[in-house]
Structure 1
Amino acid sequence: EPIVYVPVAAGFAVLLIMVLQQRHSLIKLTNWASIKVAPIPATLTISVLLSMVLAGAMMQQMLLVQNVLGFTPMMAGISSFGASLMLVVFSPISPRIMGRIGLGPTTCIGLGTVAIGLFGLHLTTTTTGLFQIIFWFAVMGVGIGVGMPAVSAGAMMAIPREQMGTIAGFMALISSISAVLGIAVISAISAVRVTSVWLVEGAQISGFESLTDEVVSGAIPEILKSNGQEAATAAGLAYTVGVTTALMIAAVGVAIAAIVAFFLLGSRGKTSKSAEHPLAPEPEKP
C-alpha cells in the first residue's frame, strides 16, 4: 500500500541524492578510502548484521511477551535487563580477550553466544515464564559485550589516529540505520509466518480472515475482548510461531557470521607475549 512503499521510495531517493552530492562535493562526509582498509569492511558488515538482528529481535520479543505472555511493561523491561547488565560487565573484558586470542576468535565467540541467546528465545512458547526470558536475554548480552567492543577496536586499529573520529561516527550512523532496517526485516519475516499459521489455526473460527491484520500486529488482547478465548488462543499461537521463526532465522544468520568472522578477521589485535611481559632491562655494569 502507498503508506508502505511511498516512504521507502522517498528514503531511496534521498539516499541517491546524497550519493550524487558526495561524488561532487569537495568536503566529503567521510574518508571513503579509509573504509576500504582491512578489516573495516568486514567489521562494518558484522556491525550492520548485529544492529539489524538485535533491534528487530528485541522489538519482536517485547511485543510477544506483552501481547501473548501477558507481561506488564515493567516485567517486559525486567526480562531484557539481563542483556544490558551483561553488556556492561563483559565490555571491559573484550579487549583483553582479543589481546590473547585475536580479533577473529573473539568476534566468533561473541557472535556465537548471541546466536545461542537468540536460539533460546526461539524456544519461547505461550506458557514460557519470566526467568527463562531473562536468562536467554542475559546470554545475548554476554555475546554482545564480548563481540561488539572487539569489532570496534579491530576497525579502529586499521586507521590513522586523526581519522578515528570520522570513521567511528560513520560506523555509528550505519549501525543506527541498520537497526531501523532490522526492525522492518525481522517484522516482515514474522508477519509472513504469522499469516501462514493463522490461516491454518484460525480456520475454524468464524470470520477469521478479517482478523488477520490484528493477529499480524499482535493485538491479542483486543481479539480476546472482541472474539473470545478460542480466537485469542489461536491468534496467540500463530503470533508466537511467527516471532520465534524470525528469531530462529536470525540465530542461524548470526551463527554463520560467527564462523565467517573467525576466518576472515584472523588473529588481528593479538598481543605477543613479549609485549604482555616485557623483559626487565639488565642492570648496567660498573
Structure 2
Amino acid sequence: MTTDATTAKAGGVLAATCLSTLVVNANTSAVSILLPAISEDTGTSVDTLQWAVTGYSLVGAAVIVTSGALGDVFGRKRVFQLGLLLFVASCILIALANTGEMVIIGRLIQGAAGATILACGLSLLSVANEGEAQLRAVSLWGAAAAVGAAAGPLVGGVLVDLTGWQGLFWIDAGIAVACMLMTFANVAESRDETRSRSIDYGGAVLVALTLSPILLATSKGSDWGWFSVATIGCVVVAVLAGFAFVAVEKRVSVPLLDLALLRNRTLVGATIAILIGAGTINALMYLLSLYFQNPDALGFTPLEAGLATLPATVGLVLVAPLVPRLARKFGGRQVVALGFLVTAIGFAVVGLTQSDWRYLAFLLPLIAIAVGMGLSNGPASSAATACVDADDVGAASGVSNMARYVGAAVATAVAATVNASVISNRLDDGATDGEALAGGLAAASWVMAAVSAAGVLLAVLMKRHREARGTLDDAAASAASPLHTLPTSATARR
C-alpha cells in the first residue's frame, strides 16, 4: 500500500473512531438532563429512572475490559462494529419506549455498547498508527471524547425542546450507522495474534454480581429497611461474589484484573482517585439536572438546565489541559490533593443550599468543583500508566477505566438515595416542596464533599512517579481523563 493510501486509511480510522467516541460520550452526559422529561412522558418516577444512569455504568464496568479482550481475539473491527450495532439497537429501543422500564433496559444495552465502542475504537486507532502519529491520533480521540461529554447536556436540552427527549436517541442512532459505514469502508481488521484466546467471562459476570446487589441495596435500603432481610441479603450476595471474583482472577490465564497490580501503591491510589473523580462528577450532574428543572426549585427548561451545567462540564475540559505542566512543576500528588480539596469546598458550598437560592448562588461552587476535578483527574490518570512497566500499561489502563464506571454507578446511586430520602423526610416533617428539595440536594452534596475530602488523603498513597512533560498530547489526555485513561509522555513505552 502506498504512503498516501496508508495515510488515507489512517485518516478514515481516525474519523470513525473519533466520531463514535464523541457521540457515545455526548449521549452519556446528556441523559441526566432528559430524566425529568422521560419521567413525565412515561409516568415513571425519577428515583426509578436513576437506574438508566447507574445501570449504564454498571454494565460498562463489567464489559469495558472484556470487550477489549474480545477485540484482540476475534477481531477489533468486528467487535467494534458489533458495539455500534448494539448502540443503534439500544437507541431505537429507548426512542420507541413508552415505559420507564424499557428505557432502563435500553440503557443497560447501551452501557455494553458504549464500553465496547470505546475500548475497541481506541485499539483500532492505536494499531492504525505508529510512533508520534499514534500518540497524536489517540490525543485527538481523547479530545473528541471530552468535547462530546461537555456538549452532551446542552445538546440534550436543545433536543428536548425541539424534538422531545426521543430526538437525541434517533439522531445518535443515525450517527452510529454513519460510523458503521465509515468503519466498513476504511478500517482494516486486526487482532493480537500473540494473545491467549482465553477470555475471562466469569470475571465480567462476577463484577456485575458484586456491584448489582450493592446498588440495589443502596437504592432500596430506605424502603426495605437498612437491616431488613432483603438489604442484608444483597450485601451478603455482593460479598460472596467479590470473594468469588478474587478466586477466579487467581486461576484464569488472562484475568480481567491482574491482582498483582494491586501491590503497586501508586496505581491503587491513582485508581481510587479516578473512581472518586468519576463518581462525584456523575453524581453532581444527576443532582443538578433534577434540581434545576424541578418547578419547586429553579424551574428551568431542559435547555436552560443544559446551559446552567456548562460551568461544570466545559470548565472541567478547559482547566484540564493546563494541569500536566502544574503536575510537572509541583508534583502530581500535590496537584491531586489540591484538586480534591477544591472540589470538596465546592460541594460543601452547594451543601448550604437554601430554597430561595437562585442560579447565581450555584455558579461559583460549580466553577470550583470543575477546577478541582480538572486538577485531580489529569495527574491521577497519568499516574495510572506512568507507575507501571511497559508490559503492564494496558492492564493498568483497564483497571482505571473500569474504576470510572464503578465510581459513576455507586456515587450516583448513593447521591440519588440520600437526595430522595431527605426529601421524603423533610416533607413528612411539614417542610414545603422547595425546602425539601433544597435539603435533599444539600445532604447529597455534603456526602460528595466528604468523599472528595477523602481523596485528599489518597495523595499519600501515590509515591513519586514519572511526570508527563506537559506536551500538547498530554493536555489532550488530561482533558479526556474524566472519561478514559490515555497514554502520556510519562507512560512507559515498549
The TM-score bracket by the shorter chain reads: 0.7 to 0.9
> For residues 302 and 242 of structure 2, what CA distance do their matches in structure 1 show?
36
State the match for 1:65 in structure 2.
292
State the match for 2:350 in structure 1.
121
> For residues 11 and 80 of structure 1, what CA distance do their matches in structure 2 show?
37
Q: CA deviation at 1:182?
A: 0.8
Which letter does structure 1 place at the counterpart of 2:426?
A: V
Deviations 1:144-189 (A, max 9, x none): 1111010111222210123212211221112112211111111222
1:102·1:268 contact (CA, 8 Å) conserved in 2? no
User: Could you say if the C-alpha distance between residues 263 and 17 of structure 1 is closer, same or farther in structure 2, counting changes exceeding 3 Å?
Assistant: closer
User: Could you say if the C-alpha distance between residues 246 and 83 of structure 1 is closer, same or farther in structure 2, counting changes exceeding 3 Å?
Assistant: same
**Bigger mean CA deviation after superposition, 35-44 or 190-199:** 190-199
User: Could you say if the C-alpha distance between residues 184 and 38 of structure 1 is closer, same or farther in structure 2, counting changes exceeding 3 Å?
Assistant: same
Question: How big is the alpha-carbon RMSD for the aligned residues of Structure 1 and Structure 2?
Answer: 2.9
Which letter does structure 1 place at the counterpart of 2:270?
A: T
Q: CA deviation at 1:94?
A: 1.4
Q: Does residue 404 of structure 2 align to residue 175 of structure 1?
A: yes
The correspondence for 1:49, drawn from 259, 266, 276, is: 276
Higher RCO, Cα 8 Å, sep 6+: 1
1:56·1:183 contact (CA, 8 Å) conserved in 2? yes
* Structure 2 gaps, min length 5: 1-215, 221-229, 469-494
2:315·2:370 contact (CA, 8 Å) conserved in 1? yes
Q: Does residue 371 of structure 2 align to residue 142 of structure 1?
A: yes
Deviations 1:200-251 (A, max 9, x none): 125xxxxxxxxxxxxxxxxxxxxxxxxxxxxxxx122112112211202321
User: Could you say if the C-alpha distance between residues 8 and 57 of structure 1 is closer, same or farther in structure 2, counting changes exceeding 3 Å?
Assistant: farther
> For residues 127 and 263 of structure 1, what CA distance do their matches in structure 2 show?
40
> For residues 14 and 263 of structure 1, what CA distance do their matches in structure 2 show?
30
Q: CA deviation at 1:26?
A: 1.6
> For residues 80 and 51 of structure 1, what CA distance do their matches in structure 2 show?
16
> For residues 98 and 77 of structure 1, what CA distance do their matches in structure 2 show?
31
Which letter does structure 1 place at the counterpart of 2:252?
A: S
Q: Does residue 466 of structure 2 align to residue 246 of structure 1?
A: no
Q: Secondary structure in 1 aligned to 2:265?
A: coil
The correspondence of residues 109-258 of structure 1 with structure 2, limited to 5 A, is: 109-202=338-431, 234-258=432-456
> For residues 262 and 324 of structure 2, what CA distance do their matches in structure 1 show?
22
> For residues 263 and 16 of structure 1, what CA distance do their matches in structure 2 show?
27
State the match for 1:39 in structure 2.
266
User: Could you say if the C-alpha distance between residues 71 and 8 of structure 1 is closer, same or farther in structure 2, counting changes exceeding 3 Å?
Assistant: farther
> For residues 394 and 467 of structure 2, what CA distance do their matches in structure 1 show?
23
> For residues 256 and 166 of structure 1, what CA distance do their matches in structure 2 show?
26
User: Could you say if the C-alpha distance between residues 266 and 33 of structure 1 is closer, same or farther in structure 2, counting changes exceeding 3 Å?
Assistant: closer
Q: CA deviation at 1:116?
A: 2.0
Identity score, percent: 19
User: Could you say if the C-alpha distance between residues 178 and 253 of structure 1 is closer, same or farther in structure 2, counting changes exceeding 3 Å?
Assistant: closer
Q: CA deviation at 1:18?
A: 4.5
State the match for 1:261 in structure 2.
458
- Which structure has the bigger radius of gyration? 1
State the match for 2:23 in structure 1.
none
> For residues 462 and 348 of structure 2, what CA distance do their matches in structure 1 show?
24
2:423·2:436 contact (CA, 8 Å) conserved in 1? yes
